[in-house]
Amino acid sequence: MIDHISVAVANLQKSADFYERVLHPLGMTRLVERDGAVGFGKRYPEFWLNARPEMTSVPSDTGIHICLRARSIDAVNAFHKAALDNGGDDDGAPGSRQGEMTAYYGAFVRDLDGNKIEAATFPPKD
């Protein structure tokens, strides 16, 4: 099981403001601020931003993406909208998808540095 993840960002304050809005629909808030890092989570920091001021935008072909669990379809939609409204890019509009093991509802975005972030929920089958 993964305890926490870290994402490199060029502008820590700008990215922290972006993620504060984007992670809110997923029930995550800004919990910790340190020199060079900001941690978000529900009860403890599970999603960290690490300042890397010299970095360039992440290439789209790295194959790396981070998927965060959403409680509902509405939360996935709100995550996607918040990302686009705050400077992120669409990398897969909200919708039904077929995963390896089951169908789910998800959306993909690119943050201000090109990191690929997904929100997904697994609604009950009708």
Q: What is the pLDDT of residue 67?
A: 96
Give the rounded percent of residues in the chain with a pLDDT score beyond 70.
99
Q: What is the pTM of this model?
A: 0.94
Residue-range domain boundaries for the chain: 5-53+64-121
Q: How far is CA 93 from CA 43, 110, 115, in A?
A: 29, 12, 16
Looking at 1-126, list the stretches that DSSP marks H as alpha helix, in order from N- to C-terminal side: 12-23, 73-85
Q: What is the pLDDT of residue 61?
A: 86
Low-confidence spans in the chain with pLDDT less than 50: none
Q: What is the pLDDT of residue 126?
A: 65
The CATH class of the 5-53+64-121 domain is alpha beta
Cβ neighbours of 51 (radius 10 Å): 19
